[in-house]
Structure 1
Amino acid sequence: MRNLTPWDADPVKAFKEFVVTDAFAKTGRRLPADGIPRTVSAESAKTYNFMFGNLAAWIAEQGKTMSTVTQADLVRFVNRTDNRERVLKSKIASRYLRLLERCYEHLGAIPNPAKQAILAANIGDTTKDEAGRALSPDQLRRFFEAMPADPPRRRRVTPFDGWKRRRDRAMQVVIALAGLRVSEAIGLLLSELGHQVALDGSIELSITPQEKHDTSYEHVTRLPSEGINELNPWLCERAAMVDKLKLPGDFVFPANVEGKKMTKKTVYKQIRATFERAGLDTSRAGGRTLRNTFAKGQLESGASPVELKDVLGLALERSAADYKFTKIKEDPQQ
């Protein structure tokens, strides 16, 4: 086995030196058609460094090193939860462990704790996700028509009565039309909203990992004009809440007047309710279906896997290439 001392002393530095070498390329599973492994691009190296940095930070937090981390430790890493939701989806978890497996393979570690963790966590066969559920144009129209709204002829006791329904409406539009993850929507900050309107009427959303999960990557997506028309009234109401109610914080969609962050569970519940009102199958109702619908629209508009990767904030181009879609069913109860 190779000397692990540099990897224990400064694993991030050791990995940065390793990832750009032929040795790293040789540990990859996918070879070019000519069978000759090639070093990764600068963009891919940046992604791998980001992923390994997350791993190394977590390992250090556990008081472990590359020499002492165990299979059980790594299974705990991929099984972490936030509000009872797994932080890493199975496919992403598999890629984290596979990346670490390549490091130990290069180092000649026997047994390989990352490989053991892949088997123990039962995520070794997740290279292909099942087809994503996406809404047809008609179903998306029905979804928008069924979004939360003020009941007709309702009297407000105060100007802000029912503000959460208007917040939820704006959030669901942003998720659907800008392709955000739920974690990105609830962590969306005012500073990430672009102020310059493009010629097509869209604005940029500059998504950062701040206040999101560690699987969120910096990326820029666009909210089209129809989304801005829904978002702007909410932003005006939010500004009034800052003025009148002293609403603190920078979340675009705060959970309450204390400015706290919303939970994913709340968002999933509200999206499911919209699916039900629209008469759509709720077995796969959630932010992922809305994100899939956005991705499907991007591909149908001619976006390449590289372009789709960029607007979705995916780690690797092959993640975008994996997107395949099936239409969701109508609700059989309707």
Structure 2
Amino acid sequence: MDELWLSNPTLAYRDWQAREAAGADRRPFSARSIVQHQAMFEHFRRHLVARGTTVANFGADDIEAFWRTANARDHTQTTRVRYVKLLDRLCRQLVFAGVRRDNPAASLLAAVRWPDGEPEPQYLDAAVDRQLQAYLRAPAEDLTILRSRAIVATFLATGVTAAEARSARVGDLHPDGSPPYLFVRAHGPRDARTVHLAAFAVPLLREWLARRQTLPIHGDLLFTLLPDGRPITDMSFGRLVTAALEAIGQTNVEMSPRTLRNTFCRRQLLAGRARDDVSHMLGLTSNRTCDRIAATIADRQAQRL
């Protein structure tokens, strides 16, 4: 039996992904997919810990309970399929390693299928986008509130991913530049890029940067948990976005950094920017995301005719 799966499942999963894990075509997963899979596994592992069970003995009822958690109950069909496939691969590996005797995900795998078409991307329409911007511009004397609004503003003003926001350094933010910008470091398959800050976020991010540089926090991460300076998790980012959207009464969209990234993309397209330019701003090598967002604009325009 591979004891590492019992003593440190996070490390065991990461090691397995790096060395052996592959998709249905037996080709190794891309660097981006590996990062996504590790994050998904961590979400599920923490769910198991909360239920008092482990990767060695969870069952179908634990998987069913996972869909009802705050982080998973709003997952799209596509995301659920990805989770089921991940759990099936995981359980087959655990059976092979002698950690488990069964695969509770196998029956679920037979019942799920990819959606017939891609779901419409989640975004805030232009009016709600402006409403959220106004909320973020409101004075915030409390340090924690200031940090939270600065984080949400960064997603809305630059279109960065959660991973990019989490790894941003103090020296990457330049609110006094001409024009103000955020330098996004290269990571995985994405090249380094510079994203100009939307005007609404500049005063807020300037204030946060000034406050951040006076704090006795170890390291130079732009956004950290206060006061200890640990990196912020994707789950925490999601909670901050949720709180901001709930504060303005908008709860009928996926409340995540991805929705704000899509909103940033849509704002650029509405302003007439070329798809190639917007894709570059998002750190993407293809226009697929921009095309999907652009389709929502075309649909809205057609509905007005």
Number of the residue aligned with 1:218:
192
Calculate the aligned-residue CA RMSD, in Å.
4.0
Distance 1:167 1:74 in 2: 35
Number of the residue aligned with 1:208:
185
**What is the DSSP-based 3-state SS (H/G/I as helix, E as strand, rest coil) of the residue aligned with 2:232?**
coil
How does 1:219-234 map onto structure 2 within 5 Å? 219-234=193-208
Larger radius of gyration: 1
Instruction: Say if 1:74 and 1:293 are closer, same or farther in 2 by CA, change over 3 A.
Output: closer
Number of the residue aligned with 2:100:
none
How does 1:284-323 map onto structure 2 within 5 Å? 284-323=254-293
Number of the residue aligned with 1:43:
none
Number of the residue aligned with 2:174:
194
The two structures have a TM-score, normalised by structure 1, of: 0.54
> Cα offset for 1:123?
11
Structure 2: gaps of 5 or more residues: 1-13, 45-70, 83-108, 298-305
Distance 2:154 2:242 in 1: 16
Instruction: Say if 1:174 and 1:122 are closer, same or farther in 2 by CA, change over 3 A.
Output: farther
Structure 1: gaps of 5 or more residues: 1-56, 95-119, 155-161, 327-334
The answer to whether structure 1 residue 164 and structure 2 residue 144 are counterparts is yes
Number of the residue aligned with 1:325:
296
> Cα offset for 1:193?
2.1
Number of the residue aligned with 1:8:
none
Number of the residue aligned with 1:134:
123
**What is the DSSP-based 3-state SS (H/G/I as helix, E as strand, rest coil) of the residue aligned with 2:213?**
helix
Amino acid at match of 2:151: M
Distance 1:294 1:235 in 2: 22
Distance 1:230 1:65 in 2: 43
- The aligned length equals 220
The answer to whether structure 1 residue 81 and structure 2 residue 44 are counterparts is no
Number of the residue aligned with 1:180:
160
Instruction: Say if 1:276 and 1:81 are closer, same or farther in 2 by CA, change over 3 A.
Output: same
Contact 1:148 1:166 in 2 (8 A): no
The two structures have a TM-score, normalised by structure 2, of: 0.59
> Cα offset for 1:216?
4.7
Contact 2:122 2:253 in 1 (8 A): no
Distance 2:112 2:189 in 1: 17
Distance 1:283 1:261 in 2: 26
Distance 2:269 2:110 in 1: 33
Amino acid at match of 2:219: G
**What is the DSSP-based 3-state SS (H/G/I as helix, E as strand, rest coil) of the residue aligned with 2:122?**
strand
> Cα offset for 1:128?
5.9
Number of the residue aligned with 1:97:
none
